[in-house]
Structure 1
Amino acid sequence: MKIIFIGDIVGSVGRKALKAVLPSLKDRYPNAVIIANGENAAAGRGITAAIAREFYAQGVQAITLGNHTWDQKEIFEFIDDDDKMIRPANFPPGTPGRGYTKIKTRVGDILLINLQGRTFLPPIDCPFRKVDEILEQEKNQYKFVFVDFHAEATSEKIAMGWHLDGRASAVVGTHTHVQTNDNRILPQGTGYVTDVGMVGPRDGILGMERNAVLYKFETQLPVRFVVDEGKWHFHAVVFDFNDSTGACESSQLIRYDEDEFIFA
């Protein structure tokens, strides 16, 4: 079984890139399960019901979120009813939505879990203890376990990879929007990459308009960040899993640039 995980989709440029690239990915990897991080999809902050429907219609089978989950206030109107969208499981008890979900496939169900780091991010419940709790609760029910760890610090992401080695089919990092060249298979069979990267404006700074970010760094004055326009780049990762054991057998980073992408 293959899973394609698409990095943080940022704004309208990111949505444009997804629409351009996804048909080719589906042709190249038929029957692959497609998951995307959508926490920046609405103008760089959060997601709307309309955008989620757009992603599902294009072939995305599940959406993970992160620290911008609540930025679009309408999310409270639909997140409880959307069983294909998950927010970090280690948000406090009673938080709307769900932290994990099931994806049905022809070779077995996938347990998809979303977690958020705590280093350089708001202090929420412990992601390590929370994932242990989920895995104990769902023990022996799933052959495939896939984790999106939305975190700032590379050390925290790497720690989560080792924490789940042999217990998850794959652990991917999101949030920092820069694709890392460290995809590997850990000793006990868990596929891992520190950050998948992003889908969105190529010439901004992490997807934001760069002059505003530069002004912030140069002056330390308050400034409003907005999503950049222009050319896109597209980052994702594809994992191949053993159908019998759920262990990762291979991984490949995907990186497209609008100027170089060959449209189908």
Structure 2
Amino acid sequence: MKILFLGDIVGRSGRDAFVERVPGLRQQLGLDLVVVNGENASHGFGLSPDMARAFLAAGADVITLGNHAWDRRELIPYLSEEPRVIRPINFPPGTPGLGAVVVEVAGGRRALVINAMGRLFMDPLDDPFRAVQAELQKHRLGQTVHAAILDVHAEATSEKQAFGHSFDGLVSLVVGTHTHVPTADHQILPGGTAYQTDVGMCGDYDSVIGMQKGGAALRFWRKMPGERLAPAEGEATLCGIYVETDDATGLALRIAPMRQGGRLSQILP
């Protein structure tokens, strides 16, 4: 299976870049599955149903979320209508929406996508490791599902790396989101799981993690609350990770970074 996971969409520039470029990337790379984190799409905070529909229409198979999942309250009933938009699986029982979904791709193959949120320097949710473990016990990689992707929305690199090693050999890809800066540690772990600590963002990199740099920098200088941060509006870089998996085992055969547009160095798999 050929998989592209794209990092957090930030603001209008990230939204526009995704909608404009993903259809071409699907064709150019022969993609079977596209997953994107959409939790910062709406002015940097949350995701609206209309935006989710646009991403799905443009070629996303699954949209994951994170700590801004509830910033647009109109998304809450939409989560019950659209199972392909998932929130972190370790929210407490009774929280709206799902934390995992199985989607069918070309050839009748099935892919599992799980969204988890870390707890270091984040909201104190339920244990994400045990929540992911419980979900994986419902599936068999290479048998009931041909690929499994785990989006770890977390602040700490150590926690993300712990996820990678904990589930090595049990999923196809463990990829980090949330910090909006792509790391250079993409690799296939010893058990066959592809891994990257953070995939970066789909947004303007002439910014402070996607936000207009002036106001964001002043918060560090003055240590006082200021105006609400607003997304930077220059050309976005689509940042993602490309993974090829073996349908028979579900494990990774290849991992490569993908960066297109904007300020960062350009690379296609």
User: TM bucket by the smaller chain?
Assistant: over 0.9
In the alignment, the residues of structure 2 paired with residue 23 and residue 211 of structure 1 have an alpha-carbon distance, to the nearest angstrom, of 34
In the alignment, the residues of structure 2 paired with residue 64 and residue 48 of structure 1 have an alpha-carbon distance, to the nearest angstrom, of 13
Give, as a single letter, the amino acid of the residue that structure 2 aligns with 1:56. L
- 1:100-127 CA deviation, whole Å, 9 max, x = no partner? 0011122621111000000000100011
Q: Is the 8 A contact 1:107 1:243 kept in 2?
A: no
Number of aligned residue pairs: give it: 262
Please give the TM-score of this superposition, normalised by the length of structure 2.
0.93
In the alignment, the residues of structure 2 paired with residue 154 and residue 31 of structure 1 have an alpha-carbon distance, to the nearest angstrom, of 28
Cα offset, 1:19, TM superposition: 2.4
Task: Report the counterpart of residue 38 of structure 1 in structure 2.
Answer: 38
Cα offset, 1:23, TM superposition: 3.0
Task: Report the counterpart of residue 187 of structure 2 in structure 1.
Answer: 184
Task: Report the counterpart of residue 169 of structure 1 in structure 2.
Answer: 172
Percent of residue pairs identical:
42
Q: Is the 8 A contact 2:90 2:99 kept in 1?
A: yes
In the alignment, the residues of structure 2 paired with residue 58 and residue 225 of structure 1 have an alpha-carbon distance, to the nearest angstrom, of 28
In the alignment, the residues of structure 1 paired with residue 31 and residue 134 of structure 2 have an alpha-carbon distance, to the nearest angstrom, of 31
Task: Report the counterpart of residue 25 of structure 1 in structure 2.
Answer: 25
Give, as a single letter, the amino acid of the residue that structure 2 aligns with 1:58. A
In the alignment, the residues of structure 1 paired with residue 38 and residue 215 of structure 2 have an alpha-carbon distance, to the nearest angstrom, of 23
- 1:162-188 CA deviation, whole Å, 9 max, x = no partner? 000011111010000000010000001
> Could you say what secondary structure the match of 1:201 adopts?
coil
Task: Report the counterpart of residue 2 of structure 1 in structure 2.
Answer: 2
> Could you say what secondary structure the match of 1:145 adopts?
strand
In the alignment, the residues of structure 2 paired with residue 37 and residue 226 of structure 1 have an alpha-carbon distance, to the nearest angstrom, of 19
Asked if 1:221 corresponds to 2:224, the answer is yes
Task: Report the counterpart of residue 230 of structure 1 in structure 2.
Answer: 234
Task: Report the counterpart of residue 95 of structure 1 in structure 2.
Answer: 95
> Could you say what secondary structure the match of 1:60 adopts?
coil
In the alignment, the residues of structure 2 paired with residue 78 and residue 176 of structure 1 have an alpha-carbon distance, to the nearest angstrom, of 26
Asked if 1:48 corresponds to 2:51, the answer is no
Unmatched 5+ stretches in structure 2: none
Task: Report the counterpart of residue 61 of structure 1 in structure 2.
Answer: 61
> Could you say what secondary structure the match of 1:137 adopts?
coil
Task: Report the counterpart of residue 138 of structure 2 in structure 1.
Answer: 137
Q: Give the stretch that moved more between structures: 70-79 or 129-138.
A: 129-138
Cα offset, 1:21, TM superposition: 2.1
> Could you say what secondary structure the match of 1:228 adopts?
coil
Q: Is the 8 A contact 2:12 2:41 kept in 1?
A: yes
- 1:124-156 CA deviation, whole Å, 9 max, x = no partner? 001111111111233563232110000000000
Please give the TM-score of this superposition, normalised by the length of structure 1.
0.95
Task: Report the counterpart of residue 84 of structure 2 in structure 1.
Answer: 84
In the alignment, the residues of structure 1 paired with residue 198 and residue 189 of structure 2 have an alpha-carbon distance, to the nearest angstrom, of 16
Task: Report the counterpart of residue 123 of structure 1 in structure 2.
Answer: 124
Cα offset, 1:29, TM superposition: 1.3
Cα offset, 1:261, TM superposition: 7.3
Give, as a single letter, the amino acid of the residue that structure 2 aligns with 1:205. V
> Could you say what secondary structure the match of 2:216 adopts?
helix
Cα offset, 1:25, TM superposition: 1.0
In the alignment, the residues of structure 1 paired with residue 225 and residue 31 of structure 2 have an alpha-carbon distance, to the nearest angstrom, of 47
Cα offset, 1:65, TM superposition: 0.4
> Could you say what secondary structure the match of 1:192 adopts?
strand
